[in-house]
Structure formats: structure tokens, C-alpha cells
Amino acid sequence: MTNAEIAAVLEQVADLLEFKNENPFRVRAYRNGARAIHDLPESVASIVADNGQRLLEIDGIGKAVAEKAATLARTGHLPQLNELLAEIPASVLAMMRIPGVGPKKAAAVFHQLGVATLDDLKTACEAGRVRGLKGFGAKTEKAILDGIAIAASAGQRLYWAEADQIAQALREHLQDCGSIEQLELAGSYRRGRDTVGDLDVLAVAGKPEEVMDRFGSFPSVADVLGRGDTKMSVRLSSGFQIDLRIVPRESFGAALQYFTGSKAHNIVLRGLAKQRGLKINEYGVFRVEGDRETYVAGAAEADVYATLDLPCFPPELREARREFDWAQSGGLPELVCLEDIRGDLHAHTSETDGRDTLEQMAEAARQRGLKYLAITDHSQRVTMAHGLDPKRLLAQWEQIDRLNDKLGKGFTLLKGIECDILEKGGLDLPDDVLAGADWVVASVHYGQKQPREQITQRILDALANPFVCCIGHPTGRLLNKREGYELDLDAVFAAAAQHGKMLELNAHPMRLDLDDVACAAAKAHGVPIVISTDAHQTEGLDDLRYGILQARRGGLTRADVANTLTWPQLKKRLAGRAP
Ligand code: DGT
Ligand code: CA
Ligand code: CA
Ligand code: ZN
């Protein structure tokens, strides 16, 4: 089981224990454990194989959680979870997942009203029976009703790239509003998370009324969920929600810090503030003396952090992973940025399933300031994409040679291939063909459901091939659609390190594979990452920036990313590959 899967099981156990009204400390132990494991750069499986006691040394993991995690890593099952699930009806579990409900409230409606399904819950809300329960009220009842509707219709998180389109359109829409002095988008969007649940907009404005009116007239708004003096929430026709908050000028930095989150990052920050006799919230930083509170900072985000002698963390790092340790011991890594990237190492043409020709892709890459582009069309196994056999591939390479002569100095097309890793193992093209390539990406496209050992072995064998440079989209995940393959990533990192190979961070907004946590783990193994677009048309080359965000979230610097090198430098690095 992967760390993410183990974390999800522990989180579910926490929900079920909370539903059963178990000891809150026990519930919190599971939640903390789930989080710690989710963010762990090393897999629980490999820790357990090495020495299970090491789990206990990890912050946030106690004895009970360590035991359960080890069981999950070893067997893939947790008897305790099955027992809990047997006790609680599935329809009640669905109720818990409604935004605004959760385990505690689900327990209340279940026990006190006998409500056990979404439909019953809807009827009870409509009849006004829910508002009377202790801790509920008319507002909660309305929120639950809305929640049921959303859960039924949309309910999915948007890809960061989609959220970005909405964010940019909204910025433009609000631009005409003369009374806006400052405007920023916070939340997971600003942190560059791969998917975004909702947008959190902050503004300083002379006339809040005017801004809210303008906000309400944003074209795709379907309805206004609420509007007060300082806060307004809307839902777009897609179901996506946007929250707008108007804050005082002296609080803008504090609000930006607070609503950028993450929640876990903020919790650590509040703890550090408390140690210094300070209080920190969305209004500012305050010195606390007795029951007197004096405003210390809050207009600018950097000032908020500075009161705690902390750097203004790049938003991508604010996940309570390594950032506070880094700040306290020698400083933050200087994160890779778009301008550092010199070339793109994964692109398709109309020769297989791409839209544009070799010439068009080359020209588009050059226009974008890249110095090299590897053409990596599919190999023959990918029949759906009209993949290349040796003959067609060699013909394409001849064409690339001719084109390079024409393009002259300053830009190089690389002769590449995205070679399939076959279901039965082995590569789709013979070594003597691969030997002629500048750059070989090896990818799994078939046999994705194979057992862990088998699919891992296929990738390990590919890494051992002397002509392979890199594994493409190493886990095969598709955001919001499917999990990655069952894969022993630690073994992949170790093999990549051993053979001097690289791993791809596929920048396609639906892939982002490797993800941020895996990038950090690859770095810990000394494995270079290449950020590639996998472009199937010229505009696809613009996806690089999505990959950059994830690399930054993984704490990668320029030195960790191989396509920040010039092509001659990269070529030299590749010469160090070992079979
Ligand atoms: P999302 O929207 O699910 O993709 O994720 P976020 O991180 O944007 O979360 P959201 O929209 O619920 O809240 C925005 C930020 O506000 C969050 O990152 C941190 C802050 N925040 C929200 N609720 C709490 C809370 O209960 N405690 C603390 N410390 N911060 C919170
Ligand atoms: Ca949000
Ligand atoms: Ca929000
Ligand atoms: Zn591809």
C-alpha cells in the first residue's frame, strides 16, 4: 500500500471513531498519524521492512498508529476498519462526506432523528427537523441541504489549471472596480496544489458594497450563497465556489497569510507565536499582555512572518512539511522557476497522436525561449496512436537532422522516442534502434492493473536498460480520474539512482506525475527530475508552469531539475548512465 492509501484508511478510521463518539484524543491521534504518513518522503513499507521501530520516531505517529500503519503496509488490510464498517450503515458514511456535516453531526442526526440516508436527511432538513438539534440551527440546516445538492451534482475539485482560468477571468472582471486597492487570491490556489476545492479572494476596498455588486455580476455566477458586510460567497454554474472577503488595510497581510494556509501551516505558526507572547490571526499579529492586545503587524504578509523571525515562505512550501525546519536551520531552498528551464524533453507530433508537425513544434518551442526540444512520439505498441516502428522512427530522425541544419545555432531538436514498457516486460524497440536516440523516455501505457511486483519489475528493468534516460509519468495517475499504478516507488527511486537515470514530472495539468511529495522523495534519493510537458500540440508547451508549481511544492531547486541544464551539459550527464 502506498503512503497515501494508508493515510486514507487511517483518516477513515478517525471518522468512524468520531462517529462512535470515541475519546477525542484517540481520534486526533489517527488524524495526526494520517497526515504525517501522507507527507512522509519515505514509504511506510520500506520503513517497516527496515525497522518498524523507526515509525515511532516520526513526529505525529504514536504507538497505535504505527502498529496499524505497519499492518496496512504488510497486509493491505486493517481488521479494525472492517469491524467499524460492519457497525455503521453505508448510507450513514455517505452522509458524513457532505460538506458541513462530518462524523459528529452525522451521528447526531442518526441517533436523534433516526436519519440514515441522504434522501431521509434531505426530507428532515426540508421539514425543519434538523435545526432543532443541539449544535445545529437554521443556518447549518440550509448548509446541509446545499451540501447534499452539491454532492449530487458537482462535488469535484478542479484541476489547478482550470481554477487558474477562473482566477484570471475574475481578476480581469474586478479590475474595473475603482474602489479596490489591493486584491489577491489565497488558499490552495495560491499554494499551487494540484487540485483546488474553492477560490479564496481577498480585497481591500474603499466601498465594499461596490466590489460585492461587481463580484456578483461575474458572468458564470449561478447563485449567491451568502452576502454580509465583509464576506460574500457565490457558486458558479459548474458548482465551483468562490469566497470573497473584504479586509481592512492594516489586516491585508495577515488575512493573506491566514487564508493562504495551509491550515496545518497556520497551526504551527500560531504555536510559534504563542511561545513569544504573540497572537496571530486573520486580523494581524498582536502582543498579549494580561487581557490587553496590541497590534504589532498585519498590513504586509512579510511583516507577519518577520515578527516571528521567519522568512516569507513561498506559498508552495506552506504545508507544514519541511519549511519550518528549513527556516530554522540555514534557510529555505531556492526553488526552481520557469525561467530556469532550458528545454522540454517530452513532446509528440502529428506523426503519431500529436496535432502539429515537427516544424510547427520546433518553431513553437523556439518562440517560447526554449533551447532544445526532444521529439518523443509513441512507439509501435501504441497502435491507437499509430506508434512508430523502427523504420518510421529512423525516417523521423533523418527529418530532424535536416531540420536542425536549417534551424541553425541556438536551438536543437533532439531525436527521441517515448518507448513503451511492454506488458510482458521489456521495451517496445530493440536496443540497436534506441542506441541512435539522443533521449529515450520509457513509459507504461498497457497492463496498468498488474500486481505491484510485476509492474514495479517492468519499470526496474526499463531503468536498467542502458539506453533509457527517463521514466515518463512514472505512477500513471490521472487526477480526479484514477489512482496511479500499484508501484513500489522506493524501489524505482533506488534503481534510478543506481543506474544514473532520471524521472519525469509530467506537467500536464491532469497528470502532474510525479507529484510534489514523490518529487521530494526522488530528491532525497539523489534522482534528478525532468519537468516535461508531454505536449500533443504547440499550446501544450505552455503547460511547463504547472509542472514548475509541483516541483516547487516538492522543494526542488534548479540543481534538482535536469532540464535546467544546457543540452551539452545534459548530454554529458547522460553519459554517466550505468547499466
Ligand atoms: P481547498 O479550497 O480545499 O482546495 O483548500 P484551501 O487550503 O484553500 O482551504 P479553504 O478554502 O477551506 O481555506 C482557505 C485557507 O483558510 C486554508 O488553507 C487555511 C485557512 N483556514 C480555513 N479554515 C481554517 C481553520 O479552521 N484553522 C486555520 N488555522 N486556518 C484555516
Ligand atoms: Ca480554497
Ligand atoms: Ca474557501
Ligand atoms: Zn507522451
Query: What digits encode the pLDDT tens for the residues 308-340?
Result: 999 999 999 999 999 999 999 989 999 999 999
Supply the pLDDT for residue 154: 43
Q: Is 540 in the pocket of ligand 1 (CB under 6 A)?
A: no
CA of residue 99 to ligand 2 center, whole Å: 13
Task: Average the pLDDT over each of 236-245, 385-394, 523-532 and give the range with the smallest value.
Answer: 236-245
Question: Probe ligand 1: pick from 200, 267, 479, max atoms within 8 Å of CB?
Answer: 200
C-alpha 125/C-alpha 144 separation (Å) is 8
Task: Return the higher-pLDDT residue of 317 and 91.
Answer: 317
C-alpha 253/C-alpha 284 separation (Å) is 8
Q: Give the residue-averaged pLDDT of 201-221.
A: 95
Q: Is 311 in the pocket of ligand 1 (CB under 6 A)?
A: no
- Residue 579 pLDDT level (bands cut at 50, 70, 90): low
Same topology, domains 3-154 and 251-329? Answer is: no
Asked if 483 and 455 count as a contact pair (C-beta separation under 8 A), the reply is no
Give the ligand with the smallest distance to the CA of 533: 4
Task: Return the higher-pLDDT residue of 432 and 101.
Answer: 432
Mean residue pLDDT of the chain comes to: 93
The protein residue with its alpha carbon nearest to ligand 1, atom 2, reads 197
* pLDDT tens column, 365-376: 999 999 999 999
The protein residue with its alpha carbon nearest to ligand 1, atom 1, reads 197
Q: What element of type H or E holds 466?
A: none
CA of residue 204 to ligand 2 center, whole Å: 19
Give the ligand with the smallest distance to the CA of 268: 1
Question: Which fold does the domain 3-154 belong to in CATH?
Answer: DNA polymerase; domain 1 (1.10.150)
CA of residue 401 to ligand 1 center, whole Å: 52
Look at strands 241-246 and 231-236 and give their pairing: antiparallel
Q: What is the full DSSP assignment across 271-311?
A: HHHHHTTEEEETTEEEEEETTEEEEEE-SSHHHHHHTTT--
Question: Probe ligand 1: pick from 190, 241, 244, 266, max atoms within 8 Å of CB?
Answer: 266
C-alpha 28/C-alpha 221 separation (Å) is 38
CA separation, residue 525 to residues 136, 319, 485, 498 (Å): 50, 21, 21, 10
DSSP state of 389: P
Supply the pLDDT for residue 535: 97
Q: Give the residue-averaged pLDDT of 20-49.
A: 90
The C-alpha cell that represents 404 in the structure block? 536542425
Edge-first strand listing for the sheet containing 529-532? 343-344, 372-375, 412-420, 439-443, 470-471, 502-506, 529-532
Position 388 pLDDT exceeds 70? yes
Q: Is 200 in the pocket of ligand 1 (CB under 6 A)?
A: yes
CATH superfamily of 251-329: DNA polymerase, thumb domain (3.30.210.10)
Q: Which sequence spans correspond to the domains of the chain? A: 3-154, 158-246, 251-329, 338-577
Question: Probe ligand 1: pick from 150, 188, 316, max atoms within 8 Å of CB?
Answer: 188
Residue 341, C-beta contacts closer than 8 angstroms, at least 6 positions apart: 370, 531, 544, 548, 561, 563, 564
Q: Which residues of 158-181 are buried (b: 16+ CB within 10 A; e: fewer)?
A: bbbbbbbebbeebeeebeebeebe
The CA-based angle 306-307-309, given to 5 degrees, is 55
C-alpha 31/C-alpha 11 separation (Å) is 6
CA of residue 376 to ligand 4 center, whole Å: 7
CA of residue 496 to ligand 3 center, whole Å: 40
For residue 191, which amino acid is it?
R
* Residue that the C-alpha cell 521495451 belongs to: 427
- Minimal CA–CA distance to 471: which of 415, 420, 525? 420
The three state secondary structure string of 286-297 is EEEECCEEEEEE
Burial class from Cβ neighbours inside 10 Å (0-12, 13-18, 19+) for residue 234 reads buried
Domain 158-246 indexed as CATH 3.50.50.60: no
CB atoms within 10 A of CB 486: 20
Position 152 pLDDT exceeds 60? no
Question: Of all atoms in ligand 1, which is nearest to the CA of residue 189?
Answer: 8
Supply the pLDDT for residue 482: 81
Look at strands 292-297 and 284-289 and give their pairing: antiparallel
Q: Is 198 in the pocket of ligand 1 (CB under 6 A)?
A: yes
Question: Of all atoms in ligand 1, which is nearest to the CA of residue 270?
Answer: 29
CA separation, residue 134 to residues 87, 107, 116, 117, 185 (Å): 24, 12, 18, 20, 36
Residue 245, C-beta contacts closer than 8 angstroms, at least 6 positions apart: 200, 201, 202, 203, 230, 231, 255, 259
Look at strands 502-506 and 470-471 and give their pairing: parallel
Is the CA virtual torsion 68, 69, 73, 74 positive or negative?
negative
Task: Average the pLDDT over each of 30-34, 508-512, 573-577 and give the range with the smallest value.
Answer: 573-577
Residue 447: HSE in the Cβ half-sphere, 13 Å Cα cutoff: 21
* pLDDT tens column, 540-558: 999 999 999 999 999 999 9
Q: Give the residue-averaged pLDDT of 228-240.
A: 90
* pLDDT tens column, 130-149: 998 988 888 888 888 877 77
Question: Which fold does the domain 338-577 belong to in CATH?
Answer: TIM Barrel (3.20.20)
The protein residue with its alpha carbon nearest to ligand 1, atom 27, reads 263
Position 421 pLDDT exceeds 70? yes
Q: What is the full DSSP assignment across 216-233?
A: HT-TTEEEEEEE-SSEEE
Question: Probe ligand 1: pick from 259, 272, 283, 313, max atoms within 8 Å of CB?
Answer: 259
* Phi, psi at 266, each rounded to 5°: -65, -35
CA of residue 99 to ligand 4 center, whole Å: 37
For residue 407, which amino acid is it?
L
Helices (H), 155-218: 160-175, 187-191, 208-216
Q: List 204's β-bridge partners, or say none.
A: 182
Helices (H), 368-407: 390-407
Supply the pLDDT for residue 39: 84
Supply the pLDDT for residue 95: 79
Q: Residue 262, preceding bond cis, omega within 30 degrees?
A: yes
Supply the pLDDT for residue 8: 83
CB atoms within 10 A of CB 254: 26
Asked if 168 and 201 count as a contact pair (C-beta separation under 8 A), the reply is no
The CA-based angle 559-565-567, given to 5 degrees, is 160
